[in-house]
């Protein structure tokens, strides 16, 4: 039995950082040894630096880790570094880590659009990680040092959207029109201060800054094929796929609900039953690879007419499984359905952990 | 100054009935004199029959009205009878009232699909009331007694959907594709028991029985033209208009939020500014007729990017005005926007009152 | 008919300031002419300086008022200045205004403990304003200029607590033991950021910084008699009255609910019916003086066993009336009951307006 | 290793019944084999009879169990039968089971007041189960058949109240005055229909039928000593202890928060630190007996000033641990504190399971 790989977390005191820590407690592959945060926290024990606001208790092992500043030198022994940094800070820090030869799995948006940075929903497009594989291969052949790299986690609402699309595209060909209206949980906005109580009590906020734009282009990257040399990925063109998102913040703690509608390029489209069966049968690569956190059932197709519901269904497969319900014909496009995904698991920190497990399974770290 | 017209309310102890009563307190045209409810309540003073659950106090004038059973004979002196009856009971009762020569404005769904029954959102299609006008005219010419009739109030979520469409269709021609995803308040479901607390606390229920179907066909009736002889109205065909609705129940007390998207039949479509200006300039007929409850501004086009919000915007024009925000181009259809309407005012009892005011202004009652 | 008195509002862009502005729209006695805010806002039109977050629209008259810095010179023509300043800034600013001869009615806590500053719940202890009367009288006799003064509004939760106590103490003598457990609305915490959504969604926060202490001592000042020369007021001693408060933040937008229990010094205590009748019969001085905002019914004693409820009862008498329910014997002290008061009306800005109306009625401004 | 004991659940389709089933999945001591429900459900497979509304999925093992009517003959092989029946039905059914020689652990209120029926909070007063021991012993000596018996689970809000009192009474003697104001979750009210959404959205309901009375007398039974012959238990007298409860329903899914205050009979009272240490040190008998579900830490004494909070703290020790915070001196009684307990675990079904584990450990079943 191999020793666990040492890993680190950047932005460790924030909302995403705290969830990375929870998910790394008792992890069979990784041992969390290094925590990075702002200079204000650096030098303190983690328990003294953090305002812990999770429903699970702060794991014992993390309490006494001394927080570092976010410098690559302090994390040089990490097989992978998880970044929960705010976009405001993530840019130069993650670059420094990558340049220092480190593997970074980041929840920040800064590098998501780079064509040589994989933007990965681990239950959907782990094949984009081959960009990393190519890079490592090339360096190896050249006798160069193992290069660093960045892998980006998608936006939380994008993760739920693309999950059911993957088996459909695999089975029935491209989707050329796609609409989604989201009802998004507040946990994604963090808690300092996050969403104000007065904004969600007896209320809806029909706007989340930048979110619709992210959903619209990220979907076109995640569903796009790799370049022939597997070194980059370009967005699908508008001719290939049009995506329209409308995003709302609602009074839900965890779990994004999305009402989606789609049209297949190939007409006539598959039957309703074929659509459902395709999603039921889907086994993501992470599951095939035996990754620890991979869902047993990637997509749960629910038949009760009032499901999925966030409070009841968000924790399927520890939040790594996505629930789909109310799959039915759509008078305007081909099919409509309701998708529920756990925004802080498959949509954020949890996705990062599963990406790292895939990287490990592929010997990229 | 004319005497006020005597009116009655059926289903007076229920949620919709209570709101009819509130809206009729101090009404300049109508005097509420008769209340009908189940045999269990009949014979009691209203204050003893009702479990009053409104934010305003039970009006003094209503307390001592003795509740009748819902028989036409007890309401024969009413210029108009407002029905807040459950669909379970409304069918035969409303028919008896109509057959007895009474004017019924009903919130129940039972007769909405009848081609000779106007289905009216008073700020949108009061011209459908000409069906009533024709019927009265015909009877008058024939020297027959004044006939009874039923006018149906639309479903609450339909009302918000069609309001911004009316000026667009008037100005720019037909809309051939329309999608809406709703985030609906719980007040529409009444309170005995209505929506369960555990269903809306930290939760979304992505299903409301029958609601999507109603929205899809009601829209096609409300936006359809009268027949040449003004005696009936038929649904728009699928070729003329396709409508797709996805309905969700959320933790909001009052005010339905809808994320809608639409395509014009005539291409190229109007500009974004034309679309907004058309809605801003819209003055509904009820306002032109000087109806007491008509909104000062029928459609409020908001420019702040995070509006409309139900808690902040639902009470514009006492709930008779509809708010529209985030009007923008849609990558899939032509335009998308967020619509907010007050479900118990313009979507239920309030619509009934305004319909009756229009009937009065047109001398139909 | 007299001209309206010119008034000003400090902290005009904040939560309390916005409510002062709403309450001053169409006020029969006061005309809001001056608005003060931080240097960041000064020089701008109010509509450009404020992030308006009220359910009513920003009143037309206020939109174009140019915001000043909070300097007395800019407010010298005000009969009264309402301060919605944060405690962080209120201290020196309010002092400067008072020293400049201005009348200040403040929602800030800074001067509440001063023995020569009246701490007033206007439906409870307007007689404490005689401190102001004495000061004016003295200056007048001395031929001095009309002096400035500060009157403090109580903490929002204190207002609800003391309202039902006043008639009881007037009728039955001192209350020597008093406990209250509060369930407080979030509007009192403002909105930048105010209470975080994640803290109130499916949650209770059993702590509000400084609140319990304020309730415990403010009650002892508000219920205390003036000194013999009417120039000061001292707290009741622990021997005279012991107060214990436990404060919780709950998912309610407006309206503080308090479960209180009390013991009379004089034993045996009055009967349950005497206690209720005393509260029902209570007419506050502001009502007797005919003040515009004074409640028609100061205390509403509800007999339904599940009332008062914040959503249903908080707006009695436009928020100036207090609702009391479930008055019953207490196995530990004498009586227990539930009290509901509107925290932003009688507990904050609204109290300030009513205090000013009383000052006007008494010719103090 | 012994075979697991067969057990049954009555009221299996209801809210409490569903939780019994979840807690019995993979239980090391018990094997759930029998389910009882109304005649409407009898004869159906459980999966076809139940409207499953839990956040965890319906356990596989339960799906195919055929539901019986609630007749003792169908449950005769059960070592213990857990009753989640409504009070409306529980009376004669539980009696029939007891008379048939069965051991019943009931969540219903029907037999709680009987002096020979133990009313047990398993982390507080398992010694009251000696009433059962005596009964068994007596029958054994008489050579009679093993008698049936009923053990009652306390009301959910009582469980949280008495938990921290136990170590205090054990260490410092009787508590003679006790007040509690509760903020109770909605899950305790079930879901058909349970608490209405409109009652808890932006609202508090300051009343729960019968709850205050139950808390006041149940506390006096749970903290009372057994009779000398260990066959009965009588309530503490008012002279020994006075209890006052005020109960509120709030918008929380799970977890009752209680603001309590207490006075010790022995004066002067222990110090604040003694009070906290006593609770920290408390190890309940169930833990000492090694019961499977017993909490590792019975009472968690929290030092952060804004804890416990239901969303963050309700799941300590799988809901079997109670959290206490804000322990501080009380100006009116001796000490006040905030207590949080999980109403469906230690306050209902979970308590039943732990009681059965104790009965097993004591060889009473």
CA B52 centroid distance within chain: 22
Q: Is B27 a catalytic residue?
A: no
Helix, coil or strand: residue B24 = helix
Q: Angle formed by the axes of helices A349-361 and A15-24, to 10°? A: 50
Q: Which of A103-107, A253-257, A271-275, D190-194 has the lowest mean pLDDT?
A: D190-194
Which uninterrupted H or E stretch holds D111? none
Residues 132-191 of C with CB under 8 A from D: 177-179, 181, 183
Residue C261's pLDDT band, with cuts at 50, 70 and 90, is very high
What CA–CA distance (Å, rounded) separates A107 from A119? Answer: 10
Q: Are the Cβ atoms of B259 and A250 closer than 8 angstroms?
A: no
pLDDT computed for residue D192 by the predictor: 66
What CA–CA distance (Å, rounded) separates A205 from A195? Answer: 10
Quote the Cα angle for D355-D357-D362, to 5°: 95
Which uninterrupted H or E stretch holds B47? helix B46-49
- What is the DSSP pairing of strand B256-264 with strand B242-249? unpaired
What CA–CA distance (Å, rounded) separates B225 from B230? Answer: 9
pLDDT computed for residue C302 by the predictor: 97
Tell me: do B189 and B287 sit in the same domain: yes
Q: Are the Cβ atoms of A253 and C186 closer than 8 angstroms?
A: no
Helix, coil or strand: residue A35 = strand
Which residues lie below 8 Å from residue D74, measured CB to CB, with a gap of 6+?
D34, D36, D68
Tell me: do A19 and A136 sit in the same domain: yes
C198 and chain A: CB distance < 8 Å anywhere? yes
Choice among C156, C247, C284, C291 that is catalytic: C156
Residue A2's pLDDT band, with cuts at 50, 70 and 90, is low
Q: Confirm if D132 and D233 have CB atoms less than 8 A apart.
A: no
Residue B190's pLDDT band, with cuts at 50, 70 and 90, is confident
What CA–CA distance (Å, rounded) separates B11 from C258? Answer: 36
Q: Chain-wide mean pLDDT for chain B?
A: 97
Quote the Cα angle for A332-A336-A341, to 5°: 145
What CA–CA distance (Å, rounded) separates D191 from C267? Answer: 46
Tell me: do B311 and B334 sit in the same domain: yes
Q: Are the Cβ atoms of C206 and D330 closer than 8 angstroms?
A: no
Tell me: do D50 and D135 sit in the same domain: yes
Q: Chain-wide mean pLDDT for chain D?
A: 97
The residue whose two tokens read 């009951």 is: C337
Tell me: do A130 and A177 sit in the same domain: no
Rounded to an integer, the average pLDDT of C280-291 is 98
Which residues in chain B have Cβ-Cβ distances shorter than 8 Å to D202?
A: 253
Q: What does the block give as tokens for A339?
A: 């998708």
Q: Is residue B177 over pLDDT 80?
A: yes
Question: What's the pLDDT tens digit per position in B296-333?
Answer: 999 999 999 999 999 999 999 999 999 999 999 999 99
Which uninterrupted H or E stretch holds A99? helix A87-99
Which residues of A does the annotation mark as catalytic? 156, 256
Q: Is residue C81 over pLDDT 70?
A: yes
Q: Is residue D150 over pLDDT 90?
A: yes
Rounded to an integer, the average pLDDT of D32-50 is 97
Tell me: do D84 and D215 sit in the same domain: no
Q: Is residue A192 over pLDDT 90?
A: no
The CATH number that applies at residue A76 is 3.40.50.720
Which residues in chain C have Cβ-Cβ distances shorter than 8 Å to A193?
A: 193, 196
State the nearest Cα–Cα gap between C203 and chain A, in angstroms: 10
Q: Confirm if B312 and C55 have CB atoms less than 8 A apart.
A: yes
Q: Is residue C154 over pLDDT 70?
A: yes
- The DSSP secondary structure of D253-284, one letter per residue, reads SS-EEEEEEEEESSSSPPPHHHHHHHHHH---
| Closest CB from D53, D193, D253 relative to B201 | D253
Residue A161's pLDDT band, with cuts at 50, 70 and 90, is very high
With a pLDDT cut of 70, the percent of chain A lying above it is 99
The residue whose two tokens read 């008489």 is: D142
Q: Are the Cβ atoms of B55 and C202 closer than 8 angstroms?
A: no
Q: D167 lies in which domain range?
A: 157-341
Q: Is residue C320 over pLDDT 60?
A: yes
Question: What's the pLDDT tens digit per position in B3-26?
Answer: 899 999 999 999 999 999 999 999
Q: Is residue C1 over pLDDT 60?
A: no
Tell me: do C227 and C317 sit in the same domain: yes
Residue D114's pLDDT band, with cuts at 50, 70 and 90, is very high
Q: What does the block give as tokens for B45?
A: 């003073």
Query: Is-cis flag, bond preceding C19, omega within 30?
Result: no
The CATH number that applies at residue C296 is 3.30.360.10
Choice among B152, B156, B284, B291 that is catalytic: B156
Q: Are the Cβ atoms of C326 and D261 closer than 8 angstroms?
A: no
Which residues lie below 8 Å from residue C105, measured CB to CB, with a gap of 6+?
C80, C81, C82, C83, C150, C151, C153, C352, C355, C356, C359
Question: What's the pLDDT tens digit per position in A301-354?
Answer: 999 999 999 999 999 999 999 999 999 999 999 999 999 999 999 999 999 999
Q: Is residue C295 over pLDDT 60?
A: yes
Q: What is the DSSP letter of D188?
A: G
Q: Are the Cβ atoms of C259 and D246 closer than 8 angstroms?
A: yes
CA distances from B160 to B85, B235, B341 (A): 22, 19, 5
Tell me: do D209 and D134 sit in the same domain: no
Q: Are the Cβ atoms of C331 and D242 closer than 8 angstroms?
A: yes
Rounded to an integer, the average pLDDT of C323-351 is 98
pLDDT computed for residue A151 by the predictor: 98
Q: Are the Cβ atoms of A55 and D315 closer than 8 angstroms?
A: yes
Question: What's the pLDDT tens digit per position in C273-284?
Answer: 999 999 999 999
| Closest CB from A53, A186, A202 relative to C197 | A186
Helix, coil or strand: residue A37 = strand
Tell me: do A37 and A172 sit in the same domain: no
B58, closest residue in chain C (CA to CA): C312
| Closest CB from B53, B54, B315 relative to C55 | B315
Q: What does the block give as tokens for A115?
A: 């064509």
Q: Is residue D325 over pLDDT 80?
A: yes
Helix, coil or strand: residue B84 = coil
Which residues in chain C have Cβ-Cβ distances shorter than 8 Å to B315?
A: 55
Burial C97-129 (b: 16+ CB within 10 A, else e): bbeeebbbbbbbbbbbeeeebbbbbbbbbbebb
Chains contacting C with at least 3 CB pairs below 8 Å? A, B, D
Which residues of D does the annotation mark as catalytic? 156, 256
Tell me: do C137 and C77 sit in the same domain: yes
CA distances from C217 to B326, C90, C244 (A): 49, 21, 10
Q: Is residue D88 over pLDDT 90?
A: yes
Q: Confirm if D132 and D149 have CB atoms less than 8 A apart.
A: yes
B5 and chain A: CB distance < 8 Å anywhere? no
pLDDT computed for residue A188 by the predictor: 81
With a pLDDT cut of 70, the percent of chain D lying above it is 99
What CA–CA distance (Å, rounded) separates A241 from A225? Answer: 13
pLDDT computed for residue A194 by the predictor: 87
Residue D190's pLDDT band, with cuts at 50, 70 and 90, is confident
Count up the domains in chain A and report the number.
2
Which residues in chain D have Cβ-Cβ distances shorter than 8 Å to C262?
A: none
C253 and chain A: CB distance < 8 Å anywhere? yes
Q: What does the block give as tokens for B307?
A: 């509006």
Torsion of CA D204, D206, D212, D214, to 10 degrees: -50
Question: What's the pLDDT tens digit per position in B269-283?
Answer: 999 999 999 999 999
Question: What's the pLDDT tens digit per position in B121-144?
Answer: 999 999 999 999 999 999 999 999
State the nearest Cα–Cα gap between A173 and chain B, in angstroms: 19
Number of Cβ atoms within 10 Å of the Cβ of A211: 21
Tell me: do B205 and B68 sit in the same domain: no
What CA–CA distance (Å, rounded) separates B156 from B121? Answer: 10
Residue D25's pLDDT band, with cuts at 50, 70 and 90, is very high
State the nearest Cα–Cα gap between B72 and chain A, in angstroms: 39
Rounded to an integer, the average pLDDT of C335-339 is 98
Rounded to an integer, the average pLDDT of C177-200 is 90
Residue B188's pLDDT band, with cuts at 50, 70 and 90, is confident
Q: Are the Cβ atoms of C204 and D312 closer than 8 angstroms?
A: no
Question: What's the pLDDT tens digit per position in D125-142?
Answer: 999 999 999 999 999 999
Query: Of C93, C49, C101, nearest to C70 (Cα)?
Result: C93
pLDDT computed for residue B302 by the predictor: 97
Bigger pLDDT: D7 vs B189: D7
C327, closest residue in chain D (CA to CA): D246
D198 and chain B: CB distance < 8 Å anywhere? yes
Residue D2's pLDDT band, with cuts at 50, 70 and 90, is low
Question: What's the pLDDT tens digit per position in A282-305?
Answer: 999 999 999 999 999 999 999 999
**Phi, psi for residue A21 in degrees, rounded to 5:** -65, -45
Query: Of C176, C337, C332, nearest to C266 (Cα)?
Result: C176
Helix, coil or strand: residue B3 = coil
Choice among B256, B284, B291, B300 that is catalytic: B256
Rounded to an integer, the average pLDDT of A118-122 is 98
Number of Cβ atoms within 10 Å of the Cβ of D136: 19
Burial class (CB in 10 A: 0-12, 13-18, 19+), D74: middle
Query: Is-cis flag, bond preceding C250, omega within 30?
Result: no
pLDDT computed for residue B3 by the predictor: 87
Tell me: do A250 and A143 sit in the same domain: no
pLDDT computed for residue B194 by the predictor: 87
State the nearest Cα–Cα gap between B197 and chain D, in angstroms: 4
What CA–CA distance (Å, rounded) separates B278 from A60? Answer: 62
Which residues in chain C have Cβ-Cβ distances shorter than 8 Å to D336?
A: 244, 246
| Closest CB from A186, A197, A252 relative to C195 | A197
Q: Is residue B191 over pLDDT 70?
A: no
- What is the DSSP pairing of strand A335-341 with strand A256-264? antiparallel
């Amino acid at each position: 039995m191999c020793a666990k790989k040492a890993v680190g977390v950047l932005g460790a005191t924030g909302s995403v950082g705290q969830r990375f820590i929870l998910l790394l407690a008792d992890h069979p592959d990784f041992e969390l040894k290094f925590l990075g945060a702002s200079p204000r926290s650096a030098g303190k024990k983690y328990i003294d630096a953090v305002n812990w606001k999770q429903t699970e208790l702060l794991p014992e092992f993390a309490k006494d880790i001394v927080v570092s500043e976010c410098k690559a030198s302090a994390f040089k022994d990490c097989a992978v570094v998880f970044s929960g940094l705010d976009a405001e800070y993530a840019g130069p820090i993650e670059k420094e880590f990558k340049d220092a030869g480190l593997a970074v799995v980041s929840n920040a948006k800064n590098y998501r659009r780079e064509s040589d940075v994989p933007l990965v929903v681990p239950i959907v497009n782990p094949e984009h990680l081959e960009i990393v594989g190519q890079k490592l291969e090339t360096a190896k052949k050249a006798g160069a040092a193992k290069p660093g790299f960045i892998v980006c986690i998608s936006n939380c609402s994008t993760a739920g959207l693309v999950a059911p699309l993957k088996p459909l595209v695999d089975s029935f060909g491209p989707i050329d029109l796609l609409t989604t209206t989201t009802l998004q949980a507040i946990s994604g906005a963090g808690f300092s201060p996050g969403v104000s109580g007065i904004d969600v009590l007896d209320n809806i906020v029909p706007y989340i800054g930048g979110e619709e734009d992210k959903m619209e282009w990220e979907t076109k990257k995640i569903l796009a094929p790799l370049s022939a040399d597997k070194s980059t990925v370009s967005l699908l063109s508008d001719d290939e796929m049009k995506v329209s998102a409308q995003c709302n913040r609602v009074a839900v703690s965890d779990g994004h609900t999305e009402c989606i509608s789609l049209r297949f390029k190939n007409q006539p489209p598959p039957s309703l039953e074929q659509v459902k069966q395709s999603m039921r049968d889907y086994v993501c690569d992470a599951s095939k690879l035996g990754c620890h956190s991979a869902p047993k059932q990637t997509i749960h197709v629910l038949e009760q007419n009032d499901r999925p519901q966030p409070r009841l269904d968000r924790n399927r497969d520890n939040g790594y499984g996505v629930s789909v319900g109310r799959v039915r014909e759509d008078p305007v496009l081909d099919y409509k359905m309701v998708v529920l995904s756990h925004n802080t698991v498959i949509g954020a920190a949890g996705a990062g952990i599963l990406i790292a497990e895939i990287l490990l399974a592929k010997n990229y770290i």
